Structure 1
């Protein structure tokens, strides 16, 4: 379980990386084809929304960090991760949120995110 914890934390942190966020291909390698996200705005996004919108925002240089990372294995090949995220930018207020993701082990042996939700906190 410790290996899974470290691996999924690494995958979540990759999604914080501006180089990954700016690359349609890198994002597609981390997300399932059925991916869905409920953003902190309350909007629902699918895979194509993410693959189109994230790389189109090259000005997003915010630093993202996570803490209180927890993994719950729901079944073989399905895991729920929860954590607190902080986004800091030099020219914007700091944003804090609670995050949850469901990761699925795919047939090719790679873990990919199936679902993600962010909820703003104070």
Structure 2
């Protein structure tokens, strides 16, 4: 169930920004959106840390203006606790689909939401 609070809208905006090629190419911009304690379990099953993700992001899919891009659908979110938002959605890129889940947090005097955890699960081609 989506509860469209300001917090959820801000986390969704951050999530969409991380799919933007200009952000993916910029270690500085991406670094502002990823929590220093960030961890991802990618669709490949690989575990990524903050530093690994920032180093690899410019070379990953979706990082060029003229290349394939993520097409997100059904983004919903809920404020789990003060400073903690959970988002779920699906993406399609070059025919490959994945279900995604992200935790965004805003701590202390922070002015922006940052992605703390992300997981992508591939959707088999014959699935609905």
Q: TM-score under structure 2 normalisation? A: 0.84
Q: Which has the higher contact order (CA 8 A, sep 6+)?
A: 2
Alignment partner of 1:101 is 2:107:
no
Cα displacement string for residues 42-68 of structure 1 (whole angstroms, at most 9, x for unaligned residues)? 010000101111124566821211111
Cα displacement string for residues 92-115 of structure 1 (whole angstroms, at most 9, x for unaligned residues)? xx1100000000013222100000
Q: Please list every run of 5 or more consecutive structure 1 residues that lacks an aligned counterpart in the other structure.
A: 89-93
Q: Please list every run of 5 or more consecutive structure 2 residues that lacks an aligned counterpart in the other structure.
A: none
Paired position in structure 2 for 1:73? 79
User: What is the total number of aligned residue pairs between the two structures?
Assistant: 117
Paired position in structure 1 for 2:112? 110
Q: TM-score under structure 1 normalisation? A: 0.87
User: Counting strand residues as a fraction of each chain, which structure ranks higher?
Assistant: 1
